[in-house]
Structure 1
Amino acid sequence: MPHPRNARVGSEPQPLNVAGVMSGTSADGVDVAIVRITPGKAAPKLKLLAHKSFPYAKPLRSAVLAAMDAQSISAAEMARLHWRLGEVYAECIAETLAENKLKASLVGVHGQTVYHQGVPEKYLGTPLRCTWQFGEASCLAERLRLPIVSDFRPADMAAGGHAAPLVPMLDYTLFAHAKRNRILQNLGGIANLSAIPAGSDAGKLLAFDTGPANMVVDALMQRLFQKKYDRNGATAKRGIVLQPVVNALMRDAYYAAAPPKSTGREQYGIVFVDKLMKLAGKARSEDIIATATALTAETIAHAYRTFVWPHLGTNAPLATGTDYIAAGGGAKNATLMRMLRERLEPLGITFAAIEDFGLPAEAKEAAAFALLAWLTWHHLPGNVPSATGASRPVILGRITHV
């Protein structure tokens, strides 16, 4: 198997086994995907070789959440968490490779986002955007003895983009279709979608964060039921949606803002959860969970009606239909998926399972960063400017060599 150390960065693309690693805004753990990536005439070809999920240990998850939501945290704590996560990612990759008797040539690690500000705000007299992902790449390089691609987001942000979403490159590579519109919906901590018009090139792709997915529900489940998440949407199923609360929350300016746009825990963290609880008053706990779940469904449906539907109609006049393909932990929430069907199927959307396309829902984002690492290694751009708002295509990430 070719090894990157035997090839120059930016050399002719070659087949490689790449380990992709993702830990999302839900901060529930690490997903590892081992992907065989082969050059193709129009786009690279991907084959998933193995995938494994690793839940964060309770103390580690508490530290990650504290770093995300705290108004202040010591420099020592930030440094320690950054390095500890590097060790954790290395352990997860090594275990996945060993269990499946595989070898990798390259690693792409997204890291744990602890702060993301996609919209410029004035700081020390200058408007700026910023993003920060934890997980020391040198730890991975040393433990695995492999080159590591990390820090994928800053290059897009420096080029004027939101640095999110970055998964659209994988979406277009795997799911673009000559005659069918495709909507790829990720339901992680934050909900984001990629809308690919039938027969279009990547420049016509529309992608953005629609709002919260699991993040708010998870926080409420922990507060009200001392559980990490609503398994299969069972708690929401027992509740009644408090529609006035959903209506009040839908007035937020974010939902009306035109793409490109991105959001995160900064908007949907503790302060937002407190606001929802206050609006709900003395409602039953099950009703509060049902309401938070309905908010996710409504924000996605609003995004489709307001931005996606007009875009697809303009850019794919020959389309014969629209497929909606959900991935991420929220795709396993039967109540959320039912709410989405109720809102979207009357608009002519056909629901499809991502597994039908050979990719488990939990592996998608990790596979995306395997692809982005492969592109970076070969000196190829990985962002989609129409999705992030960047001024140009850029090569993403930094390479840490052994």
Structure 2
Amino acid sequence: MPSYRTIGLMSGTSLDGVDAACCRIEMPATDEPLTETTIELEASITDEYDAEFRRFIEGLCTDTATIDDLAYADIAVGKRFARAVNRLCSTAGIDPKRVDLLGSHGQTVWHAPQQRDLPGDLGKTNTTLQIGDESVLAAETGIDAVGDFRRADIAAGGHGAPLSPLLDWLQFADGGEHRIVQNIGGIGNCTLLPRGPTRADVTAFDTGPGNMVIDAVVQAVTDGEQRYDDGGRLAATGTVDEAFLETLLDDAYFEMEPPKSTGRERYGGSYVETLLAEARNRGLEAADLVATATALTSASIADAYNRYVPFEPDRVIVSGGGAWNDTLLSQLEARLSCPVETSGDRGIDPDFREAALFGLLGALFREERPGSLPSVTGADRAAILGTRAKRP
């Protein structure tokens, strides 16, 4: 049974920082079911972005970013991810020489799931862009780095997202329950796990905004003193403006059928500016606005289940930063007819589920085994994901 020690690296659309998770991955032989894979988190840290670096990345997630900006940022993000690896190794007493590889998601700066015409007779494609040079990462850590995981799925006709359902299938599927794994990072995405699913039974899609809109609203109403609503405490003191919420739910993205994915380009700065302007016109108090933004996330998730999930879930398992927002979880449970719990109750820290995923995908790359789920991404075939940069 192949065994790997990997460090998975993830920075999501919330731009909180780099999540780094050292994982022990035991994989079955190639003639055995992949469901026999075990993943153990040995150590983890979040290396937070400072305000300057966060603004730097936010500036790239716009249609005004220049090629020059992106070229330099690719190196900067690689260095920033390397710093997270080195800090994890230092704080946890991990010898880098005993780490088999790094699996790095990089930093998404643009996600364009809609097909667009290419020049001449080259056809159409969708695309996605993650930066964070793997060669820099390998050079500054002394560990082979695997990254750029999404492009192989796009080459196979998929969206390149979401990728986390693979881990959800291996860790959370159950023979006796219909389950949904709901990640609430900057964007919300759900993995649908019917009872005893095979690889082909797993489906997933992005539900819409997760923490992204809530965080931006909190920063606006507190003049930057708070970056997020800790525990949902501010939302808990407010009242949801149901009429405004209904307006926000009248969104073309929610009408789109899966497979679908979205990101900061849709629910980022421009979206929030429009939302804030409308809130001012309606005279909403700060706490009421945060409560309404929180309800947008919970209501859009529940609405997605009602529209697009072909079974009644027996359980919803939440991961991501939203797992720590008690008000959000309470709102969600009130809209559903099943228990809502966190992935921590099932052995995967909510903050490090996606970092663990990229540690797993790195191991699959090393084994030359597919890491994508075509039933999720819409691809024509399963693909081996990633490219590798060798350490010096």
User: Residue 361 of structure 1: SS of its match in structure 2?
Assistant: coil
In 2, Cα distance between the equivalents of 1:351 and 1:392?
33
Amino acid at match of 2:131: F
In 1, Cα distance between the equivalents of 2:240 and 2:127?
36
Deviations 1:336-376 (A, max 9, x none): 111001101xx2x2222311222111110000111111111
Aligned to 1:206: 203
Aligned to 2:265: 266
In 2, Cα distance between the equivalents of 1:223 and 1:123?
39
In 2, Cα distance between the equivalents of 1:323 and 1:130?
33
Distance apart, 1:22 and its partner CA: 0.2
Aligned to 1:318: none
Distance apart, 1:251 and its partner CA: 1.6
Deviates more, 1:155-164 or 1:275-284: 275-284
Aligned to 1:316: none
Deviates more, 1:178-187 or 1:119-128: 119-128
Contact 2:329 2:340 in 1 (8 A): no
In structure 1, list runs of 5 or more residues that go unmatched.
1-12, 314-320
Alignment partner of 1:393 out of 357, 382, 385: 382
In 2, Cα distance between the equivalents of 1:334 and 1:218?
15
1:365 equivalenced with 2:354 (yes/no): yes
1:380 equivalenced with 2:369 (yes/no): yes
Aligned to 1:339: 331
Where do residues 78-157 of structure 1 align in structure 2 (5 Å cutoff)?
Answer: 78-102=70-94, 103-122=98-117, 124=119, 126-157=123-154
Deviates more, 1:155-164 or 1:36-45: 36-45
Distance apart, 1:124 and its partner CA: 4.4
1:189 equivalenced with 2:189 (yes/no): no
In 1, Cα distance between the equivalents of 2:67 and 2:307?
43
Amino acid at match of 1:119: Q
In structure 2, list runs of 5 or more residues that go unmatched.
none
Deviates more, 1:267-276 or 1:380-389: 267-276
Amino acid at match of 2:60: A
Distance apart, 1:274 and its partner CA: 2.0
Contact 1:22 1:369 in 2 (8 A): yes
In 1, Cα distance between the equivalents of 2:197 and 2:344?
24
User: Residue 183 of structure 2: SS of its match in structure 1?
Assistant: strand
TM value normalised by structure 1: 0.91
Where do residues 140-179 of structure 1 align in structure 2 (5 Å cutoff)?
Answer: 140-179=137-176
Deviations 1:121-175 (A, max 9, x none): 3354653211111101111111122211100111111211111110001000111
Contact 2:181 2:190 in 1 (8 A): yes
Contact 2:372 2:382 in 1 (8 A): yes
In 2, Cα distance between the equivalents of 1:35 and 1:181?
27
Amino acid at match of 1:53: T
In 2, Cα distance between the equivalents of 1:237 and 1:357?
27
In 1, Cα distance between the equivalents of 2:264 and 2:87?
30
In 2, Cα distance between the equivalents of 1:352 and 1:291?
22
Aligned to 1:287: 288
Amino acid at match of 2:103: G
Aligned to 1:76: 68
In 2, Cα distance between the equivalents of 1:36 and 1:137?
21
TM value normalised by structure 2: 0.93
Contact 1:184 1:195 in 2 (8 A): yes
Aligned to 1:303: 304
In 2, Cα distance between the equivalents of 1:374 and 1:167?
15
Aligned to 1:56: 49
Distance apart, 1:87 and its partner CA: 0.8
Deviates more, 1:294-303 or 1:101-110: 101-110
In 2, Cα distance between the equivalents of 1:77 and 1:253?
31
Contact 1:218 1:228 in 2 (8 A): yes
In 2, Cα distance between the equivalents of 1:355 and 1:257?
31
Amino acid at match of 2:41: L
Contact 1:245 1:276 in 2 (8 A): no
In 1, Cα distance between the equivalents of 2:17 and 2:344?
21
What is the aligned length? 377
Amino acid at match of 2:115: P
Deviations 1:201-239 (A, max 9, x none): 021112000000100111111222112111111111111
Aligned to 2:24: 36
Aligned to 2:277: 278
In 2, Cα distance between the equivalents of 1:352 and 1:298?
17
Deviations 1:220-265 (A, max 9, x none): 1122211211111111111111111211121212112111100001
Amino acid at match of 1:22: M
User: Residue 219 of structure 1: SS of its match in structure 2?
Assistant: helix
Aligned to 1:233: 232
In 1, Cα distance between the equivalents of 2:380 and 2:290?
40
| Identical aligned residues as a percent | 38
Distance apart, 1:266 and its partner CA: 0.8
